Structure 1
C-alpha cells in the first residue's frame, strides 16, 4: 500500500536547515554481478556436453544489454567452460576458460565466423569462479580466486564493430548460454547485471516533495556503477527502511529506449503525480561530449517493481547548454525544475540551474519552463535536490571544487551551506527525514572498482550521515 510519509517534527525556523550538523555513521558497498532478485537461471551444475562449441541456451535473454553469467569450476586438468549470450543460429558473445592452456578468452561469433578479441592466462583452482558480464557493449571476463570477483580482460570497441547489442532487434535474438566440455561446473547463475557500486541517490517523491512510501518502506533511485564508464552504468530503484537506510533492497531496473537502442540512461528522479509516474533522467547511456541532455516520460506502469524499458523524449529545458541531474517539485501551483547546466564536457564545466513552469497541477512539468537562476560562477557543481526542512523548501547541490554542499532558495540565491563532511568525488546531498527524529544524508564517494583494468566509472561506496 502506497502512502505519503510525514517529515520529522521540530523547528519551523527559516534557517532550520542551517541548524543541522551531520556526521558520518556508515559506509558500505553493494556489489553483485547477477542482480539479486533478477536471476533468469539458477542452474546448479553444468554437465559436460558433446562439444564445448555448442551453448545450452536458456529460455530467456536480457531485456537490456546488461547481463551476467557466472559459475564455479571443479579441480580439473582438462576441459573448458564457456559463459555468455547466444542465439539459435549459433552466434554468441562469451568468455571461455580452457584448462589445458590456462587461458581465458573473450569471443564473438557472428554469421558463422568466430573471433577471439582478448585473451589472458590465469590458473583457476578448485572452486574458483568464472563470469561473463555485459554492460552496454562492453564485455568483461571476471575471475574469483576466493577473494571476490576481479575483471581479467575487457573489450568494447571490437565487440561494437561486430555486433551492437544495444539494438533491440539484435538483442532479442540472444539468450543466456553456457557450455562445459570434459568438466562439471557448479553454482551457475545468469540474469540481469547488478552493480559494482552505487551513486547519484535521489529520493522517490510525491509531486509536493514528500517521500513516497509503501508498507513502511521508502525508495531511492540509484545509478548502478557498471564495468566501464558512464555508458556502462544503468538506473535502478531500491526500497529502504527510513529508520535504517543500510537496509537497501533492489526493487526495479530501469532502462530507456530511443533511436532503436536500449540504453542505461541514469541520474534522474521518479515523481508520483496523481496516479502516474513522472520520470526524468540524463542521457548518459550513449554519452558523448556536446549531446548530454535530460529526457523524460510519463507512465502508469509500476516503475518500483520489475524490469522496464521506457520510451523517453528530450526535455525542453531553458538553456542552450548540456544538461543532466533533473529533479521536479510542484509547489504553490507551479512546477519547479532543477538541473545541471554544462557549457562544456571537454573539459567538464557544470553548475546547478533552476526553472519554473506554467501554473496549475494539470500542466505538464516540462511546459512553459522559464529560467529562474543559474549558478554560473560554479564550475564543478551538480546533484541538485529539493528538500523541505521546517517551513522552507531549499535546493541543495554539491560543489566538488570547494568541497561543500551549497544551499539555495527558490529564487536561486545562495543562502549558505550544509554543515556536513564532504566525501570524495561530487557526492549528491540527498536528505531523508528519520522517523525517529533528525535527518539522514544518503550519498556516495569515489572508491573505484578495479580501476587498473576497467578505468574510471566503477564508484562508489554508499555513505550514510546523520544529523546531530
Structure 2
C-alpha cells in the first residue's frame, strides 16, 4: 500500500526568544534572554506584578512580586550552576515561569514556579495587554519576544479540505507542530513551519493561540485546513489540561477536548489569536473521559474526522466519525483493542481515504511500536514500514511527486531534569525508497 521509508534527516530547532515578535504579548508565551559575564536579572512586568529571574554567577532563582507580597522560588537540586554559562533566560509559557541557563550548548531549566499558585493568571487578556520585559546587571545581546520551542512534536501537514497537502507557489510545504515548552503539555503551543521537500530544512513561520473560557491558551495537536477562502483550525485543549490526582480524587481536574476555529486571515505567517468553540466528537458507547488529535477531511460531501478517545488518563485509542457537516457527526468506528494509540491521520490514497495511527509501546504486545493503516471502518489493512522512534511518532505522510515523505518526531527531551516530561522531541524525516 505504501513503500518502505528510510530516514533522511533529523533536526531540532531549539529557540528561546523569537525576536520577530513583540511586547505586549497576545498570549502567555514570552521570553527574554541575554549574554552575561556577571550577575544579571531578567523580568516581566504587568501592572503591579513583577516576575524576575536572577543569576548571581552561582545560583539561579525566581521572585514574584504582587500587590499582596513577594515570594522567592529556587531549586535546591537544580538551581546551582557550574562554570561556562553563556546566556541566561526567563520564559513565560502558559502559567509557568521558568529561568534557564545556556551551558555546554544546551539550555537547562534551573528554577520555575506556577504563577496561579501565587495568585496570578497570566492567560488573562487584560494582564497580557500590559506585559513588558526588562533587564538589569551584566546583560548583553538581549533578545526578547515570543518563546520558541525546546522541541517539536504532533506534526501535521497543512492541507486542503480534501486532504491534499497545501503547497506554496515554490512547492514549499507547511506544517503545524506542538512547540514544546519547559514542562508538561500546558507549557506548549501550536506553531507553523515551512518545510522544503528537497533539503528538508524547517523554517518557523508563526504561532496560533486560542481563546476559550475568557483566557488565551497555547492549545496544540492541531490540524490547519484550507477550506475554500478561509482557514479551518481544529485543535486539542491541552493548554488547560489538568490530570486527575490519583492520590486525591476530590481535587478538580480538566479533561482534554477538541475545539474548532475559522479565520480569513493568513494563518500561515505571524501570530494569531483565534476564537475557538467546542467541536462535539461522538463517543457513543465508549468509556470516554477526553478526546484529542483531530484530523479532518471532506470527501464526497461528507466530513471524516479522526481522533483519539481516552478511557482514562492515559489509556487511549483511535476513533473515526463522519457526517454531512462538522456539527452533525456520528461515530463510525473505534479501535477499542488499543490502549496507547494516537496520531489518527486521514490520508487520501487511490481514490479513497485510509487511516494511519501510531501504536505506542504501552499497547498489548502484538500491536506495539508500529504504524497501523486502517480502512474507513478501522479494519487494519497494512502497516507502514518506517522507523518507529521513541515516544509516539505520528504517521504524517506527504505525497511528493511519485514519492512520499514521512514526518515524525521522537521523545528526546531538552532542558534538563527540572521540567520533567513534555520537552520532546526531535523531528525525524523519512523518504520512500
Question: Which residue of the other structure, out of 67, 84, 91, is the alignment partner of 1:111?
Answer: 67
Question: Can you list the C-alpha shifts for 1:247-302, whole angstroms capped at 9, x where unaligned?
Answer: 11111111111112111110020111110111100010011246211111111111
Q: Answer yes or no: is 1:138 the counterpart of 2:79.
A: no
Please give the alpha-carbon distance, in whole angstroms, between the structure 2 residues aligned to 1:368 and 1:103. 56
Asked if 1 retains the 8 angstrom alpha-carbon contact of 2:106 and 2:415, the reply is: no
Tell me the TM-score normalized by structure 2. Answer: 0.90
Structure 1's consecutive aligned runs of 4 or more residues displaced over 4 angstroms after TM superposition are none
Alignment of 1:25-64 (within 5 A): 25-35=8-18, 38-40=20-22, 60-64=23-27
Picking from 133, 147, 150, the partner of 1:176 is 133
Displacement of 1:105 in angstroms is: 1.9
Q: Alignment partner for residue 352 of structure 2, among 373, 392, 400?
A: 392
Quick check: 1:108–1:159 contact (8 Å CA) kept in 2? no
CA RMSD of aligned residues (A): 1.8
Deviation at 1:451, TM superposition (A): 4.8
| 1:21-77 CA-partner distances (Å, limit 9, x unpaired) | 112222221101013x5343xxxxxxxxxxxxxxxxxxx322111111011113x5x
**Which residue number corresponds to residue 6 of structure 2?**
23
> How far, CA to CA, are the matches of 2:208 and 2:328 in structure 1?
28
| Alignment partners' CA distance in 1, 2:356 and 2:264 | 29
Identify if the C-alpha distance between structure 1 residues 341 and 90 changes in structure 2 by more than 3 Å, giving closer, same or farther.
closer
1:449: which partner in 2? 414
**In structure 2, distance between residues paired with 1:146 and 1:405:** 36
State the partner residue of 1:51.
none
Q: Residue in 2 aligned with 1:324?
A: 292
> Using the alignment, how far apart are the partners of 2:97 and 2:405 within structure 1?
37
Residue 103 of structure 1: how far off its partner (Å): 3.4
Q: Measure, in 1, the Cα distance between the counterparts of 2:341 and 2:30.
A: 33
Partner secondary structure for residue 214 of structure 1: coil
Report the Cα distance in structure 2 between the residues aligned to 1:349 and 1:159, rounded to whole angstroms.
28
SS for the counterpart of 1:170 is helix
How much has 1:124 moved relative to structure 2?
5.7
Question: CA offset at residue 230 of structure 1?
Answer: 0.8
Cα deviation, 1:163-214, whole Å, max 9, x if unaligned, reads 111122222222122223xxx4211000100000000111111111111112
Q: Does 1:300 align with 2:257?
A: no
- How far apart are the structure 2 equivalents of 1:255 and 1:39? 14
Residue 119 (structure 2) pairs with residue 152 (structure 1)? no
**Structure 2 counterpart of 1:128, from 86, 110, 125:** 86
Per the TM alignment, residue 129 of structure 1 is displaced from its structure 2 partner at its CA by 1.1
Structure 1 residue 128 displacement after superposition: 2.3
Could you tell me how far apart the structure 2 residues matched to 1:144 and 1:341 are? 39
Separation in 1, partners of 2:350, 2:282:
30
The reply to whether residue 219 of structure 1 matches residue 201 of structure 2 is no
- Structure index of larger Rg: 1
Residue of structure 1 equivalent to 2:311: 343
3-state SS of paired residue (1:454): coil
> Which consecutive unaligned segments of at least 5 residues does structure 2 have?
244-253
TM-score under structure 1 length normalisation: 0.83
The aligned residue for residue 216 of structure 2 is: 262
- Distance (Å, rounded) in 2 between the aligned partners of 1:385 and 1:451: 32
Maintained 8 Å contact 1:90/1:112: no
Q: What is the CA-CA distance between 1:146 and the residue it aligns to?
A: 4.4
C-alpha distance 410-71 of structure 1, shift in aligned 2 (>3 A): same
Cα drift, residue 339 of structure 1: 0.7
Q: Any conservation in 1 of the 2:233–2:261 contact (CA below 8 Å)?
A: yes
Alignment of 1:168-247 (within 5 A): 168-180=125-137, 184-216=138-170, 217-244=172-199, 246-247=200-201
Distance 1:39 1:141 in 2: 20
Structure 2 CA distance for aligned equivalents of residues 367 and 146 of structure 1: 51
Following TM superposition, by how much is the alpha carbon of 1:130 offset from its aligned partner in structure 2, in angstroms? 1.1
Structure 1 match to 2:247: none
* Alpha carbons 2:73, 2:112 under 8 Å: kept: no
Deviation at 1:150, TM superposition (A): 1.4
Count how many residue pairs are aligned between Structure 1 and Structure 2: 409
- SS of the equivalent of 2:20 reads strand
The CA deviation at 1:304 is 0.8
Structure 1 distance, partners of 2:373, 2:92, is 39
In structure 2, the residue matched to 1:3 is none
